[in-house]
């Protein structure tokens, strides 16, 4: 099993700064999601910034979430 999300902070240009349960940090780019279904709501920057870490992944108030494995595997690591 891949590490899970411990904390998340919204960054600029739809980027999420994430700390994982193994101590690694990374940046996840949400831009590819913005044209798809429920994720279109994330285009509203004020809403996007309401992201939080819950149950090992990232989630927004209207229950959009991203698979925790996807978040880990697709994040650009900022440390190892």
pLDDT tens track for 32-65 = 999 999 999 999 999 999 999 999 999 999 999 9
Looking at 1-80, list the stretches that DSSP marks H as alpha helix, in order from N- to C-terminal side. 45-48, 68-74
pLDDT in tens, 8-30: 999 999 999 999 999 999 999 99
pLDDT of residue 78: 86
CATH number for the domain whose boundaries are 5-75: 3.30.2020.10
What is the mean predicted confidence (pLDDT) over 62-80? 92
Say how far residue 42 (Cα) sits from the centre of its chain: 11
- Helices and strands: H and E segment counts in the chain: 2, 7
Q: Residue 58 corresponds to which tokens in the numbers above?
A: 């990232």
């Amino acid at each position: 099993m891949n590490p899970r999300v411990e904390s998340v902070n919204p960054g600029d240009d739809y980027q999420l700064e994430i700390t994982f349960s193994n101590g690694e940090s990374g940046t996840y780019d949400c831009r590819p999601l913005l044209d798809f279904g429920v994720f279109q709501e994330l285009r509203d920057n004020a809403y996007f910034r309401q992201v939080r870490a819950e149950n090992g992944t990232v989630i927004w108030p209207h229950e959009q979430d991203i698979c925790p494995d996807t978040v880990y595997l697709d994040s650009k690591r900022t440390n190892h």
